[in-house]
Amino acid sequence: MRVEERFLKYVAVDTQSDEASMTSPSTEKQLVLAQMLADELKELGLEDAHVDAFGVVYAKLSANAQGFPAIGLNAHMDTATDLSGANVSPRIVANYDGGEIVLNPDVKMGPKEFPVLKEHIGEDLIVTDGTTLLGGDDKAGIAVIITAVQQLIASGKEHGDIYLAFTPDEEVGRGTEHFDLEKFAADFAYTVDGGAINEIDYENFNAAQAHITIQGKSIHPGAAKNKMVNASLLAMELHGMLPVNMNPAYTEGYEGFYHLTHMQGECEQAELTYIIRNHDAEQFEEQKQFMIRVCEYLNSRYGEGTFDLQITDQYRNMRSIIEKDMRVVELANQAIRAAGLTPHSSPVRGGTDGASLTYMGLPCPNFGTGSYNHHGKYEFASIQDMTKMVEIISNVLLMAKEVSDQMK
């Protein structure tokens, strides 16, 4: 099966996660894809392909030769909460001509707004119908991994132990919450969860979520003087105290931000949810402390308990760990070069399960997928790029012994 065929099969399954859910996985529908993947891996002949109690898919391809390191490959099954992943209706724009793509009569995308499209002229692009996201993040990664393993098995070429894991709930920061490293006994691993196919990234945001519940006092507006406390207005006041320039729409590169992801409110009660991001650990802590001070100030003004702030750390920047032993990055660089591309590393303005796995003791930088504009209706995937990513992952698996020997 070609990589694009797998991808189109996977995006037909709605796997959106739910940050408000306390179950694992956060949504039962993720288990539909999980079981589909486990069944597919069994058919390919992988060992112990199964879905565990928490919705994680595990499988192993045993070595057919000595001297190779054990390599892990990971991608996540869930899609972002930003836009629906149900009833995805993809279509292929063959031989993209560089112009505007009409997703539906009301939604169009072109290279003026999305310059990345200029890099894919002449390629075959899989796009949405403008009403849902596509799911390339990270079903393109899943399709790439399984296709690479299928081709490796068919080739009969020598390889070491290969461990696969597909996780739920990465998009809500809980992808590795129940990850079992005993089942995933790799020496090192890679997530396939990025964009550009020449990327190998090993630094990401430090990440936290802040949830604020604001308690107001609802009184009939005709008798509200000196009595009413409008929680929705207090929520607006809090947001207005955050630095305007630390909005993700105004930041890039290493610049951190506060991002309001959810709000709801009435006079009696309001809720705000933010994600807090920064590559620098000290600045990240300063951002969290600033949010704490804002809420403390507002409580001193409106009464203790008016603002209830809960901050939850989600993941950390893996750079400080990976830099201690760059062999895992060098193997990736050589695999990319062998595919005819120039490797590039840049700070990921997001996170992957690999960051958490790295802090659990398993070095795990991140490859691209060949899909772009994630988390929205303008998402697209390049068939040629996904095919090239299959080649790059195959190179990693085949070159691991040679590169490992060179760097001893």
- Residues catalogued as catalytic: 78, 170
According to DSSP, the β-strands at 162-167 and 71-76 are: parallel
Q: Distance between CA 386 and CA 140 in Å, rounded?
A: 7
Q: Distance between CA 344 and CA 403 in Å, rounded?
A: 18
In sequence order, the 6+-apart residues with CB closer than 8 A to the CB of 13 are: 29, 32, 33, 36
> Is the distance from CB of 192 to CB of 3 less than 8 angstroms?
no
Provide the terminal-to-terminal Cα distance of the chain, rounded to the nearest Å.
37
Q: Distance between CA 259 and CA 257 in Å, rounded?
A: 6
Return the bridge partners of 207, or none: 277, 315
Q: Distance between CA 229 and CA 306 in Å, rounded?
A: 10
Instruction: Dump the DSSP string for 322-390.
Output: HTT-THHHHHHHHHHHHTT---B---BSS--HHHHHHHTT----EE--SEESTTSTT-EEEHHHHHHHH
| C-alpha R_g of the chain | 23
> Is the distance from CB of 366 to CB of 205 less than 8 angstroms?
no
Q: Distance between CA 77 and CA 170 in Å, rounded?
A: 8
In sequence order, the 6+-apart residues with CB closer than 8 A to the CB of 398 are: 152, 157, 158, 159
Q: Which amino acid is at 294?
A: V
- If you count DSSP H runs as helices and E runs as strands, how many of each does the chain have, helices first? 9, 17
Tokens representing 229 are 């406390």
Give how far Cα 258 sits from Cα of 50, 341, 353, Å.
Answer: 38, 35, 21
